[in-house]
A and B are shown apart, each in its own frame.
Chain A
Amino acid sequence: MLVFIAKRLLWMIPSLFAVSFLAFVLIQLPPGDYVTTYIATLAASNEIVDQNTAAQLRERFGLGDPMLVQYFKWIWGILSRGDFGISFEWQQPVSDLIWERMALTLVLALSTLIATWAIALPIGVYSAVRKYSIGDYFFTAFTFFGLAVPSFLLALVLMYVAAVEFGQDVGGLFSPEYENAAWSFAKMGDLFSHLWLPVIILAVSSTASLIRVMRANMLDELPKPYVTTARAKGLSEFRLLMKYPMMIALNPFISTIAWLLPNLISGSVVVAIVLNLPTAAPLLLQALMAQDMYLAGAFVLLICALTLIGSLISDILLALVDPRIRLE
């Protein structure tokens, strides 16, 4: 097991290099560069950038260098001194910008994950055991509805209702008084009192598909001989369900942990923008649109690292949970 983990960790290094290079190339692919976009953004409000200033910005950011040179300068900075470069737009070190955002993103992602599983698992088991019951139909209908409604629309509708009908503060993860405050228990409490809305919105769509997966897996397992045997030996129905079919049915859940993290970040972009959440997603999108490549590159790199770590975790968990899987 340890050898396996060590091997996997070693493999992550070249993967990260490949991914970071690809990300860098992709960010550079659109025509123009940061300065073009900067001028275009200002021109959108009919604001004019001094022509000399524009030329000078290009020179200062080294945008004239060939892409490979720019890439190696960047990656060398990260490797040698943990320096992710400077965000063009903000004139701030990238590392100042990303960590708090990434932390809030993880909080949101994990909360959503827990909420999704807490809803999907019991309902999935229930509708498999009570197949074609009224409850099964009810949940099925409900979850299809959840799957069909785009989450940004749900967010907009909920925001509209909250803002216009109830005069509530909507958007953001903190009340104004906590927004820039230092971390404290009160701030944590404030965070959780705001977190439920985005969590519900994000959980709705993924819950639906997970319920179907769980139901199908359980239905596969339930008629198997070992279940009948266990039942014949007098095991209580609940223990029986939990001990064997449920464990096996969990397999797809665990093996998708790797995608969950990046999915929750990229899948929540629109919702995060609509709800004005201070997570990584809006900043990443902004950075991509502004071609602020070091900032965008750092985010993409981190998300890729999360994916790799996630897939390692799911492999380890699978080995622990599913007796059929062996690492050797």
Chain B
Amino acid sequence: MSANGKKKGRKALFAQGNEAVVEGALIAGCSFYAGYPITPSSEIMESMAQKLPSRPEGVFVQMEDEIGGLGAVIGASLAGRKAMTATSGPGFSLMQEHIGYACMVEAPLVLVNVMRGGPSTGLPTSPAQGDVQQARWGTHGDHPIIVLSASDVQECLEMTVTAFNMAEKYRTPVILLLDEITAHTREKIFVPPVEEFEIVNRTTPTMPPEWYKPYEETVRGVPPMPPLGSGYRFHVTGLSHDINGFPTSRPDEVVALMDRMHRKIDQFLYQVQIVREIECADCEVCVVAYGSVARSAELAVTQARGQGLKAGLLKLGTLFPFPRRALEKILGHSRAVIVPEMNMGQISREVKRVNNGRAQVRTVNRVDGQIITPDEILKAIKKV
């Protein structure tokens, strides 16, 4: 992550998180958006509808539903575009089959889910973090996935760039989870010039077309990907496929595909697991938080330190693959971990799994569409 906001050449902007996502996407090179509107994510779509048509390559399509939105995004990605869609709870549920398809055919794309209270139509305009496990396990079958989160408007911009970079680098869908507070809060942010960002583009094949094998093993586990229509003709299917892309049910070929799909992300865990450690070096009580809750947690930790309590915050930028190493380091010297979330305990499951009985794990949960305040977290810190 870059941008401390002070350098010259940076455009200042008063924006909400949803608009910052669009800024980030355009910086990353996104030129295709398809989707269906839903609160509290609609501003992303509206802003794309406004901006994309007047950009040289930009394409915007409003589809008939979210299933169509993600289908079109996958199609555009196969045709060589950096493409994205955005949605909220119910739309995210509809998209699940296509998330699995994108994993299987290894289509790079970014999907933003501004979570809203659920289940079902739930609380349309209230903050929630109830889709964390759905983002990980919502589609059927075993598959790796990268799930990111952002906690303020500046981060929305930067995380969106990161999401595109990871999608392109690992040929995979990347899900960015936001909550309504982050998405709708207006803040002053700085938009650094494009040159300040590292922008990653997918690797395209260089060999003659007749040598190209679309799902061949490579050093990074990520096969090069040509745009449809560029002379590399091959078959794309959601069925288990061999290295030529043709359907197979031969166990050795199926296992090789699954292994590579997991390995291409697992061997780069250190690159895809983004965390920020705040006052963690000597903490005895560690708060693990993400999204807007992490902002409340940061204030609570500062206040706790002011009162002489050795508190720290592990802020998760990446939710999946779960940043296990970073947590383990802190578990080495913390007697308690507090996990505040706007759900019934979806990341605390991961924390408890890694903790494996070592420290005390406490949760602070809200599912009533209300914000978790610094006070609530401070109280929990004091209690342990």
| A-B interaction | no
Chain A interface (Cβ < 8 Å from any Cβ of B): none
